[in-house]
Amino acid sequence: MFLQRDFTTFERTRDAEILRDTIGITILNIALPVLYFALVWAYGKAFFSDASWAKKWKSTLLAVVVLFHLFYLFLRTITFDHPPVTTVYEILSVLAFAVAAAYAVIERQSKAKETGYFILNLSFFFQLISSLFIRDLLEVPQILRSNWFGLHIASALIGYASITISAVYGLLYLMLYHEIKANRFGVIYKKLPNLETLERMNLIAIILAFSSLTFAILAGFIWLPYAFASFSYADPKLLGTAALWLLYGVGIIARQKGSIRGRTIMALSIVAFFIALFSMSVINLFFSGFHRFS
């Protein structure tokens, strides 16, 4: 009887903790799209209006939003006892965070802050959709509770986020290139970094994508055979990720050797994005494999 009473007390305490944390999660879930909107607005004011306050505070606001989002993902993980990558809408939130965090790294490394408006709109869109439709799941398949699973998926998402960012830089580079060729010196020419800086930012995104995909593939090769009886190295999703990894590896080597530069590397970044899109959507729709957890 005493043990039963203790167990009941423990369960009530645990339920109270979950309720308290769920309230916090709900508040953060509502706040995050608002924070991302404020962030995009600040970067937009800095880019289009040269607002001095926005230029001064936008990077600080970026750091605050990224830290808030990281805390939100951590809180979801410990409250529901699984990494927040078990549904499409959880994944969208992680992807929003990955885009913002990857951009923060690129901005810090390149010292160029003019492209944030274009990149961070993606984070706002992803988080808005996530916040509108996300559901709190306490019961998920045991395989989805693995920390290895979380690391594998999170590193892959950081890789895909970096691929998306590199494609955006590719588009911005080509837009600026054609503006210069056509002797049109409008807002794109005046506000964007020069072609050399955009190419350097693109390279940082490519290296970040390659590093993240390397970790995701290694984690998959080590862990997935033990996690899935049906695991196969011929899985279409795995082959698609490996193809991306190979393309980026060859691109980095060729870029370092000077074999490809400028418009060519930008075009390859855009091609890689569409390969990633194919891997994440079309392959999932038409091919089955262990990457489907249902």
Q: How confident is the model at residue 13 (pLDDT cuts 50, 70, 90)?
A: low
Q: What average pLDDT does the structure give for the chain?
A: 84
Residue range 127-153, pLDDT digits in tens: 999 999 998 777 777 777 777 777 888
Regarding pTM above 0.75, the answer is: yes
- pLDDT over 60 at 259, yes or no: yes
User: What does the H/E/C string look like for the chain?
Assistant: CHHHHHHHHHHHHHHHHHHHHHHHHHHHHHHHHHHHHHHHHHHHHHHHHCCHHHHHHHHHHHHHHHHHHHHHHHHHHHHHCCCCCCCHHHHHHHHHHHHHHHHHHHHHHHCCCCCHHHHHHHHHHHHHHHHHHCCCCCCCCHHHHCHHHHHHHHHHHHHHHHHHHHHHHHHHHHHHHHHHHCCCCCHHHHHCCCHHHHHHHHHHHHHHHHHHHHHHHHHHHHHHHHHCCCCCCCCHHHHHHHHHHHHHHHHHHHHHHCCCCHHHHHHHHHHHHHHHHHHHHHHHHHCCCCCCCC
What pLDDT is stored for residue 262 in this prediction?
A: 85
User: Looking at per-residue confidence, does 56 or 280 come out higher?
Assistant: 56
